[in-house]
Structure 1
Amino acid sequence: MGKYKNKMCYPRLNKSGEIISYRFMYSGKDPNTNQHKLYTKTWKVPKGLSVKEIEKERKEFEIEFIKESEKKSNGIFVSETNLTFNEFADDWLERIRLKEDAYGSYSSAKNHLRILKEWFGNYLLKNISPILVQRFYDYICSRTYEKTCVTVKQSIKELIVSDKTKCYEIAGSCGINRLTLRIATKVGSKISMETAKAICSYFKVPMDKYFSITTEKVKYSCATNRGIKTTLVMILNSARKNMLIEHNFATNEYTNGISGTVKKKEIYNEEEVREFVRLCLQEKDLRKKSIFALYIFLGLRNGEVCGLEWKDIDLENGILNIQRNTLYFKEFGVVTKEPKTKNSKRSLAMPLQLTEILKEYKIWWEEQKIIHGDLWYNADRLFLQDSGECLHPCTPSTWLKNFELKNGLKHISPHKLRHTSITMQLLAGIPIKAVSERAGHADEHITLGIYTHFLKEEDRKAANVFDRFLSV
C-alpha cells in the first residue's frame, strides 16, 4: 500500500469474523471544482476462494480502482457507455448546426459524414482503435474515380484553314479562347470533352476522327482527404472532451499522414489576364464590369464581393474595406456572416482604374434607386437584383461564365480569378507580405503554400530564357 499514498483499504467482517468485503477509498479532487473529493468503492469477496486467491483478486481490484480514481480526479475518466459512432456523430453534427456562424463547417462536415458513417457507423466509440482509423485513412487515400481524357488524334489545322474564318471568330463561336483552339491543332495535346464537342459541332465533323477518348482512374485530392480526416478528428475530440473515450486515435500521434493528388489550379496566364481586363473595361453592363474588376484588380473572394456595401468604400481616397461575407449554403440559403478569418477583415488601396469603374457604377446605382422608387428594397449593398434586394451569391459565377463564353475566353470560376490576381501580383514583384495581407491570408506562409507551384513554373521559364540569352 506504500506506493499509493492517497488510498485506503478497510475490510468488513461478518459475525463469524470472516472478511466478506473490502472498502477502498482514494483521496483525490473534483476536476470541476478543484476541491478535495473522496472516491470509494466496495469489493465483495467471492465465495469458494482460497486465502491466496482472495488476496490476488483483491490486489487486482485495488489497482484498477486506483487507476480509475486517478483518472476521475484528473478529469480524464471515460464514462461507461455503448454509444455508437453514428449516434454520437449525429448529435455532434446537430450541435454544429445550432452554432452561430458555423454554416460552412456544417455543410462540409455533413458531406464528410457520408463516408465516415460507412466505415465507422456501428462501431462503439470505445472500440475505435488506431488500427481501424489507419485502415480508414489508407482506404480514402487509395480511392479513385473515373476521369474522361480527350486527346487530339488528328490536328484540326486543316479544318481551320479550309474554313477561311479568323481564328478568334472560330474560337468565339466554339465558346473557347484562341489558345485552346491552338492547342487542338497539336497532336497529343489534351483538351476537355466540352471543348472537343464544341469544335466538332462547329466544323460538323465526327468526334472520333480528330479526338481519342479514354478514361483513367484518378485518386481523390489531398485536400479532400484531409478534410475528411479533419472532421473525424473533430468528432473524436468532442467525444474525448465528453469523457466517452480516453484518446483521440484519429490524430497524427497515432496514425500516419494523409496523401492524395495535388490538383493544379487553373488560372489565366499573363496574356490571358490582359485580354480579360481589356474585355472587362469594354463591358457595358456596369454591374458585371464592377464585379469582374473587383475579382481581378483586388483578388477578392466571391462572398466578400457580394457582401460589399457603399459605406465600405471611400471613392475619394480609393480605399475599400472588407467587413462581411455573403454566401449561399444549400441547408441555410443566403447568409451574411463575418469574413472567413480575422485577417480577412482588411482595408485595401484600390488601383485607379478600379476606383473610376466604381465611381461610374455608383452614378448608375443611384439612378436605379430613383427609377424603382417604392419598389426598391432599400439596401446599401453594391450589387443588387432589379428590385434592390441583395444579389444572390451564385449569380456572379453565371455572369462570369457567360462573359467568358461570349468573348472566347478560357472558363475559370470567380475563385480562380482570385488565384489569378494573387499570382499576377507575385509575378509583378509585389512583396509577399503585402500580397498576403491584401489577400486576407493569416500570414505569408499560407500564401507561399498555395502559390509556390506557380512561382516554380515562372522560375523555370526565367532559367530557360536566361539560358538562351547566354548560349554561344
Structure 2
Amino acid sequence: MATIRKRGNSYQIRVSCGYDTSGNQVVQTMTWKPADGMNKKQIEKELQKQAILFEDKCMKGQVTANIKFQDFAEQWFEEYAKVNLRPTSYARMKQLTKRVYPAIGHKRLDKITARDIQKFVTDMLVNGKNMNTGKPLSRKTAVHHLSFISDVFSYAIRMGMLTDNPCRRVVVPKSEQEEKQIYTLDEVKTLYEHLKDEPMKYQVYLLLAIYSGFRRSEMLGLEWKDIDFENSLIHVRRTSQYTKEKGIYTDTTKTRKSKRVSKFPPSIMNLLKQFRTEQAKEAKQLGTKWEGHDRLFTKWNGAPMNPQTPFEWLQGYCERIGIPFRNIHSLRHLHASLLIFEGVDVVAVSADMGHSVVGTTLNLYSHMFQEARARNCDAISNALSFTNEVKVKEEKHSEDSTEGTYEDEDEQEEEQFGQVFGA
C-alpha cells in the first residue's frame, strides 16, 4: 500500500517492496509536484492516480530507485557476463569500468539520463583521458564504453527493472577514419632479408602470418594435427587466449566462419616441415620437461606460447633491422591488402579472413576496395587498347586529306579570317 507525504509544494509517494536478504525493508519512492492552477480536489484525484501507478510499477519490479549503476553493473557481470561472454571479452568489459564507474557509477540507475552519458562519451573524445599518454581517446574506444553501458541498461530492461535505455539517444561524434598501418612492400622485403638470423619459430610465425592472414589467437592455437602436408592445407579449429585470471587457455574460434581451411605454397609447407623437425629435436633433448601440447608455437618447454610474445618479438625485430613497428595485427591487414590489390573479390576475401559477414570486410577495407576499383579504369583502357589504334588511323587519314590545300599555316589563318569578315 502506498503512503503519501506532503513536502513543501510537492508530495512524496512511498511503497514498501518487502525485505532484502539482510532483513532490511526495501522502500521505493517518487516525488510528484502538482501543475500550476490545479485546485485541491484535482490535486487529490491526480495524487491518488500517481500513487496507484507507482505502486503497480513497484510490484512489477520496474522501479529501481535504490540501486546505483555500479552496484547493478556488478550484478550484471556476475549474473550475465560471466556466463555468456568469452573470458577475454569479460576481462575487456572489466577494464572499461575504470572510466565508467567514476563518471556515472554513483548515480541511481533510473536517474541516469541520455545527457549524462553523452557528456561522458564526448568528454572521452575531447579531453585527455588516456591513462598512459593523457591524450583524447579514439572513437572506437568511446564506442566500446557506450556499448558496455548500454548492455547494462538492456539487462535491466530484460529483468523488468526499467522501460527505457538512454543510450539509444547518445551519439558518438564521427571522426576521420584512420588509415590502417600496413607494412610497405619495401619494408616486407627488409623483413624477409634479415629473417634468417632469427629463431626458426619466429621465421615460421612471420611468414605464416603474412601468407595466411590468421589472427594472432588463431596462429597460436595451431597444432600439428591441423596441418595437412599431403595437400598443403592448414585448418583453423581453435584459438589460444590469455586473461590474468585464467592464464593461457584454449578457446573456440571468434565466429563460426572463423573455422576455415587455407591452402599454402610449397615454400611454406617445406618451412613447416623443417620447423617440426627442429621442434622434435628440442623435445627429445628436454625429455620429461617437455610438455606435449602439439602446438606449433610454444615456450621453451613446449607449453603454449603467451599471446604477448609474438608482439614483443616483432617489435624488437623491427628495431634491430631499422623499420617502423606497425603492430602484430598489421600482418593480417597486409595479407588482406595483397588479396584486394590482386583483384580477389570481396566475398572470397571475407571467407579467407574468417569474417562472419561480408559487411565486416567492406567496413574494414573499404578504402582498399575503392583504390582497387579505381584501377578498373586502366584495366578497361588496356583491354580496349585497339580503339586507340583506330583513332590514330582516323586522325592520320584526316591529316592526309588536307595535305596540299594550304602552303603553310599563315595561309590557313588568312582563309579563316576572310570567312569570318566576309572577305
TM-score scaled by length of structure 2: 0.71
The code of the aligned residue for 2:319 comes to L
The CA deviation at 1:116 is 1.3
- 2:177 maps to 262
- 1:348 maps to 262
Map 1:392-403; keep pairs closer than 5 Å: 392-403=306-317
> Is residue 133 of structure 1 aligned with residue 117 of structure 2?
yes
Specify whether residues 106 and 96 from structure 1 end up closer, same or farther in structure 2 by C-alpha distance, changes over 3 A only: farther
- 1:239 maps to 156
The CA deviation at 1:311 is 1.4
The CA deviation at 1:64 is 6.0
* Secondary structure at the counterpart of residue 99 of structure 1: helix
**Count of matched residue positions in the alignment of Structure 1 and Structure 2:** 343
The CA deviation at 1:94 is 3.8
- 1:187 maps to none
The CA deviation at 1:305 is 0.9
The CA deviation at 1:338 is 1.2
Identity %: 24
- 2:232 maps to 318
The code of the aligned residue for 1:359 comes to K
Write the distance in 2 (CA, Å) between the matches of 1:218 and 1:449: 26
Conserved? CA contact 2:64–2:109, under 8 Å: no
- 1:222 maps to 139
Write the distance in 2 (CA, Å) between the matches of 1:66 and 1:459: 61
Write the distance in 1 (CA, Å) between the matches of 2:42 and 2:181: 73
Write the distance in 2 (CA, Å) between the matches of 1:53 and 1:398: 75
- 1:124 maps to 108
Q: Could you give the per-residue CA deviations for residues 163-204 of structure 1, whole angstroms, max 9, x where no partner exists?
A: xxxxxxxxxxxxxxxxxxxxxxxxxxxxxxxxxxxxxxxxxx
* Secondary structure at the counterpart of residue 240 of structure 2: strand
Q: Could you give the per-residue CA deviations for residues 390-448 of structure 1, whole angstroms, max 9, x where no partner exists?
A: 22221112222232233333312221111111111111112211111111111221111
Write the distance in 2 (CA, Å) between the matches of 1:364 and 1:80: 63
* Secondary structure at the counterpart of residue 314 of structure 2: helix
Map 1:192-203; keep pairs closer than 5 Å: none
1:361 to 275, 284, 296: 275
The CA deviation at 1:376 is 1.5
Q: Could you give the per-residue CA deviations for residues 219-252 of structure 1, whole angstroms, max 9, x where no partner exists?
A: 421111111110110111112222222211112x
Conserved? CA contact 2:241–2:307, under 8 Å: yes
- 1:307 maps to 221
- 1:61 maps to 48
TM-score scaled by length of structure 1: 0.64
Conserved? CA contact 1:129–1:249, under 8 Å: yes
The CA deviation at 1:304 is 0.8
The code of the aligned residue for 1:271 comes to D
* Secondary structure at the counterpart of residue 226 of structure 1: helix
The CA deviation at 1:277 is 3.9
Which protein has the bigger strand share?
1
Write the distance in 1 (CA, Å) between the matches of 2:125 and 2:299: 44
The code of the aligned residue for 1:227 comes to H
RMSD: 3.3
* Secondary structure at the counterpart of residue 253 of structure 2: coil
Write the distance in 1 (CA, Å) between the matches of 2:127 and 2:244: 26
Specify whether residues 55 and 127 from structure 1 end up closer, same or farther in structure 2 by C-alpha distance, changes over 3 A only: closer
- 2:187 maps to 272
**Any unmatched runs of 5+ in structure 2?**
1-38, 389-423
* Secondary structure at the counterpart of residue 334 of structure 1: strand
Specify whether residues 432 and 141 from structure 1 end up closer, same or farther in structure 2 by C-alpha distance, changes over 3 A only: same
Question: Which structure would you say has the larger RCO, counting Cα contacts within 8 Å and 6 or more residues apart?
Answer: 1
Which protein has the bigger helix share?
2
1:83 to 67, 70, 77: 67
Select the structure of larger CA radius of gyration.
Answer: 2
Write the distance in 2 (CA, Å) between the matches of 1:133 and 1:399: 40
Map 1:406-421; keep pairs closer than 5 Å: 406-421=320-335
The code of the aligned residue for 2:123 comes to Y
* Secondary structure at the counterpart of residue 414 of structure 1: coil
Q: Could you give the per-residue CA deviations for residues 101-150 of structure 1, whole angstroms, max 9, x where no partner exists?
A: 6222222212221221122122111111223223333323323469xxxx
Write the distance in 2 (CA, Å) between the matches of 1:414 and 1:56: 67
Write the distance in 2 (CA, Å) between the matches of 1:220 and 1:463: 39
The CA deviation at 1:261 is 5.0
The code of the aligned residue for 1:298 comes to S
